[in-house]
Amino acid sequence: MTRSLLAVYPGSFDPVTFGHLDIIHRASRLFDGVTVTVLNNPSKQPLFSLEERMAQLRLVTADLPNVTVDGFAGLTVDYARLKGARVLIRGLRAVSDFELELQMAHTNKTLAVELETCFLATSNEYSFLSSSVVKQIARFGGPVEHLVPQAIAEELRAVFPLSQSLEK
């Protein structure tokens, strides 16, 4: 009997970018099922609520039948165990990501030895891209349509209207 291979892609996704979406698409071709899980990064103050980020992710992954979206207020490894997932996916953009990602992978390994972290190299065209950069551009009224799906760009414009950016 073959067991289906489930992977969890954890992150803040505040908001989801084309870089995240690229990783989701590629992971969905590697694993039987992928759950994109919105978690809290204790060192970040999110712009969008957990529910808003989940709704955004559901919208932009609606065309991927083996991808589901969830949220969790706790440890990533506890979520993965709860779901019976064996793999955690993380994207690596550059060497600068590596140190923190390796530390996280090793920490998670000490908490759940059965879980493997699988790093996918971010596609070259998105290697500069982060949610923080997107928020910074949107805050000052710059264009973000080339960085995030249209629906997300519209949500950012609603949060940071042009008039607000000009006031500052």
User: Which H helix or E strand runs over 69?
Assistant: strand 67-71
What is the contact mask toward ligand PNS in residues 88 to 107, using x (rule: CB under 6 A)? ----------------x--x
Q: Kindly indicate which of the ranges 6-14, 27-35, 112-120, 159-167 contains the residues binding ligand PNS, using the contact rule CB under 6 A.
A: 6-14
Other CB atoms within 10 A of residue 147 CB: 23
Catalytic residue among 12, 20, 53, 90: 20
Q: What is the nearest approach in angstroms of ligand PNS to the Cβ of residue 105? A: 8
Q: Kindly indicate which of the ranges 10-18, 112-120, 134-142, 150-158 contains the residues binding ligand PNS, using the contact rule CB under 6 A.
A: 10-18
Active site residue 93: yes
77 exposure class (CB count in 10 Å sphere: 0-12, 13-18, 19+): buried
CB 31 within 8 A of CB 68: no
Q: What is the nearest approach in angstroms of ligand PNS to the Cβ of residue 39? A: 4
Site for ligand PNS in 105-134 (CB under 6 A): 107-108
User: Which H helix or E strand runs over 91?
Assistant: strand 87-92
DSSP state of 126: G
Separation of alpha carbons 69 and 103, rounded Å: 25
Catalytic residue among 44, 49, 106, 132: 44
CB 85 within 8 A of CB 8: yes
What is the contact mask toward ligand PNS in residues 52 to 81, using x (rule: CB under 6 A)? -----------------------xx-----
Active site residue 20: yes
C-alpha 168: how far from chain center: 30
Residues that bind ligand PNS (CB under 6 A): 10-12, 39, 41, 44, 75-76, 104, 107-108
Enumerate the active-site residues.
Answer: 20, 44, 93, 131
